[in-house]
């Protein structure tokens, strides 16, 4: 058992080493001209640009705008999507009736809604939020409905025999049993929301970190453009890790998580 943490450190070390080697290779390749300097900045200049961005109020303001629309959009999608999903999952007729419509609406590539919301709301945070809600609600809705339909029938029958009130059986049976699905849905939605927030800024010129990146690119500022890409990637990693944490916290009671911890 003592080897386990040791091997864990070994894994982390090898992972860190790969990143260091990749960064060094980048620097070397752009210095020697293997990567053409006209389209690839050196690693050091990219990270220099990144550090100077971190010192600018403008950057933090743009990041704040991006993350605000992300949070609001995701929250609205969850507040609407989860109850609606519970309802659809519970009422078979509604589930079957809405299936085709939801299938179609959810497969419309969400970025193609950008021109529509852009015309209706202009390049504003409101436009971003509407877009994000549209794109993020489907996975939440569909996963929640799935989860409810996957609830053990015996549990529901038991609840009925003990004459639990409807509210209680939702609280104590349906929601816990659908929770893993709901969380999966919200996790997918969180990633989609970030994609859409950045897309609306890159493609629709809404204010935010994506627009700053496009401005840097159209100004021919190579290193800052790459620095923005790295920063957006880091935001993506942060979102991913945060939701991993959240799900293992919320599902610590669930057999799958307990099994994984043991």
Q: In terms of CB distance, is 37 or 166 closer to another protein?
A: 37
Closest separation between CB of residue 39 and another protein, Å?
A: 5
Q: In terms of CB distance, is 159 or 190 closer to another protein?
A: 190
CA distance 130 to 132: 6
Closest separation between CB of residue 222 and another protein, Å?
A: 7
Residues that bind another protein (CB under 8 A): 10-11, 14-19, 22, 39, 93, 96-101, 103-105, 107-116, 118-120, 194-195, 198-199, 202-203, 210, 213-214, 216-217, 222, 225-226, 228-229, 232-237, 239-240
C-alpha neighbours within 13 Å on the C-beta side of residue 173:
22
CA distance 169 to 191: 31
3-state secondary structure of 91: coil
Element (H, E) at 29: helix 3-32
Closest separation between CB of residue 172 and another protein, Å?
A: 27
CB atoms inside a 10 Å sphere around CB 171: 12
Q: In terms of CB distance, is 146 or 226 closer to another protein?
A: 226
Closest separation between CB of residue 103 and another protein, Å?
A: 7
Asked if 213 and 232 touch (Cβ cutoff 8 Å), the reply is: yes
Closest separation between CB of residue 16 and another protein, Å?
A: 7
Closest separation between CB of residue 170 and another protein, Å?
A: 24
Q: How does 24-35 read in b/e, with b if 16+ C-beta sit within 10 Å?
A: eebbeebeeeeb
Q: In terms of CB distance, is 83 or 233 closer to another protein?
A: 233
Identify the burial level of 195 via C-beta atoms within 10 angstroms of its C-beta, where 0-12 means exposed, 13-18 middle and 19 or more buried.
middle
Q: In terms of CB distance, is 164 or 248 closer to another protein?
A: 248
For residue 231, give the nearest of 212, 217, 244, 218 by alpha carbon.
Answer: 212
Q: In terms of CB distance, is 52 or 244 closer to another protein?
A: 244
C-alpha neighbours within 13 Å on the C-beta side of residue 53:
26
């Amino acid at each position: 058992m003592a080897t386990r943490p040791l091997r864990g450190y070994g894994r982390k070390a090898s992972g860190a080493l790969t990143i260091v080697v990749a960064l060094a290779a980048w620097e070397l390749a752009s210095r020697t001209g293997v990567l053409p300097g006209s389209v690839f900045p050196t690693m050091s200049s990219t990270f220099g640009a990144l550090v100077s961005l971190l010192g600018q109020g403008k950057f933090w303001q743009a990041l704040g705008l991006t993350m605000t629309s992300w949070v609001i959009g995701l929250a609205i999608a969850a507040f609407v999507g989860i109850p609606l999903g519970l309802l659809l999952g519970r009422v078979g007729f509604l589930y079957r009736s809405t299936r085709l419509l939801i299938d179609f609406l959810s497969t419309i590539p969400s970025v193609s809604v950008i021109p529509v919301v852009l015309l209706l709301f202009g390049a504003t945070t409101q436009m971003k939020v509407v877009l994000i809600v549209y794109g993020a609600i489907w996975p939440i809705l569909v996963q929640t409905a799935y989860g409810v339909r996957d609830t053990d029938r015996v549990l529901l029958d038991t609840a009925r025999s003990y004459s639990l009130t409807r509210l209680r059986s939702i609280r104590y049976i349906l929601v816990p049993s659908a929770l893993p699905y709901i969380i999966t849905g919200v996790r997918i939605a969180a990633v989609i929301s970030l994609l859409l927030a950045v897309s609306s800024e890159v493609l629709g010129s809404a204010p935010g970190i994506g627009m700053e990146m496009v401005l840097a690119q159209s100004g021919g500022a190579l290193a800052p453009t790459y620095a923005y890409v790295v920063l957006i990637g880091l935001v993506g990693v942060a979102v991913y890790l945060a939701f991993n944490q959240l799900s293992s916290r919320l599902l610590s009671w669930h057999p799958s998580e307990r099994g994984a911890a043991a």
